[in-house]
């Protein structure tokens, strides 16, 4: 019975120390001014940028910026900019580490 109580307590503690969140971001017509410029739409793209923290405070990877996610999306098709842009963020917390990720979606364009 004593071991069962310890296992139950450890399981409950793990549930309270872990979690996740989805944070809606914003919308933008484009990542750069496009008014009066001719361009071709190349297709839909998705870019991400992430950061991992050890013990929730020590960064061990990445920077997790919106600009990093935009650059990742543009690089997938060699685009000059994105139009119809959306951004959102995801976070997950575990006992020893946490992850924060920014996701940008949009249509890749190339200026003529």
Structure tokens at 35: 């008014």
Furthest CA-CA distance within the chain: 75
pLDDT tens digits for the chain (112 residues)? Answer: 677 777 777 666 665 667 788 888 889 999 999 999 999 999 999 999 999 999 988 999 988 999 999 999 999 999 999 999 999 999 999 889 999 999 999 999 999 9
CA atoms within 13 A on the CB side of 31: 24
CA 27-32-38 angle, to 5 degrees, is: 110
Model pTM?
A: 0.80
Q: What domains sit in the chain, N to C, each tagged with a CATH number?
A: 20-111 (3.30.110)
């Amino acid at each position: 019975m004593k071991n069962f109580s310890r296992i139950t307590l450890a399981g409950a503690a793990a549930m309270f120390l872990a979690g996740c969140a989805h944070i809606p971001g914003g919308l933008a017509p484009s990542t750069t001014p496009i008014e009066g410029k001719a361009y071709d739409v190349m297709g839909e793209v998705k870019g991400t940028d992430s950061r991992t923290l050890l013990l929730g405070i020590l960064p061990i990877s990445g920077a997790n910026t919106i600009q990093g996610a935009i650059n990742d999306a543009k690089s997938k098709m060699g685009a000059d900019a994105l139009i119809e842009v959306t951004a959102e963020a995801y976070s997950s917390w575990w006992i020893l580490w946490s992850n924060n990720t920014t996701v940008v979606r949009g249509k890749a364009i190339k200026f003529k």
